[in-house]
Structures are given as C-alpha cells and as structure tokens.
Amino acid sequence: GDSVTQMEGPVTLSEEAFLTINCTYTATGYPSLFWYVQYPGEGLQLLLKATKADDKGSNKGFEATYRKETTSFHLEKGSVQVSDSAVYFCALSDGPNTGKLIFGQGTTLQVKP
C-alpha cells in the first residue's frame, strides 16, 4: 500500500541554520503531497502542498519540490527561527479525496537561539 517515510528526529539546529527534512513516498498512482506542522499545544496545520510532479510548494519561507523520479518531497528552509520549533509531518493523498491522508511518522525540530 501507499506509504510515507520521513527522516528520524529530533533535529536540533541553531537559529538561522539551513533546514532539510527528508521525505520519500511509495504510491501506486499520482498522489498529492503535503507538509503539515504541529506547533506545541496546537492542532495540525497545512504548511504547503504540491499536486503534480515538479510542482514546488512554499509557505513561510519553507519549500518542497515534488520529485517523481526520486519519489521525494523534502522540506527545506534557508534560515530557521526559534518559532519554527514544532513537529513536521509529510503526507500524501492518493486520489481526489485530499482529506484522506497517509502520514509519515513526524520529525521534531528544535531550534535553539
């Protein structure tokens, strides 16, 4: 079945460091890909998405490019802030119902001042 694999955490960075969180997927069709973020004490929020190959999703300085050839959707940010500390989830939806998502296990990011 479809699946998502994320790099293990926690990831600890200093403020202004470059961030990469790896995500790869397995899917039989042509999924849409998502990054969700969960800040402490809050619900899951959509960070960015891409719906077809070579699309780049971006939001709040974060970017991810849908790479069909490597089945990847790595999350990047050029300069992290303390406020970016959160748990990040990569997810896919296979089909038109984009609310039925398959999530990775999550990666905790801690940014230190």
Partner 1 sequence: GAGVSQTPSNKVTEKGKYVELRCDPISGHTALYWYRQSLGQGPEFLIYFQGTGAADDSGLPNDRFFAVRPEGSVSTLKIQRTERGDSAVYLCASSPDRGGNTIYFGEGSWLTVV
Of 88 and 111, CB closest to partner 1:
88
Note whether 91 binds partner 1 by CB under 8 A. yes
Residue 19 has which token pair?
């961030």
Residues 29 to 58 in contact with partner 1, rule: CB under 8 A: 41-46
Cα–chain center distance at 86: 12
Q: How many residues bind partner 1 (CB under 8 A)?
A: 20
Report whether 101 contacts 34 (CB < 8 A): yes
Of the candidates 29, 24, 78, the residue with the CA atom closest to the CA atom of residue 51: 29
Q: Which of 86, 92, 106, 109 touches partner 1 (CB under 8 A)? A: 106
d(CA 14, CA 98): 35
Stretch that binds partner 1, among 55-63, 64-72, 74-82, 98-106 (CB under 8 A): 98-106
d(CA 99, CA 109): 25
Of 106 and 111, CB closest to partner 1:
106
The minimum distance between CB 38 and partner 1, in angstroms, equals: 9
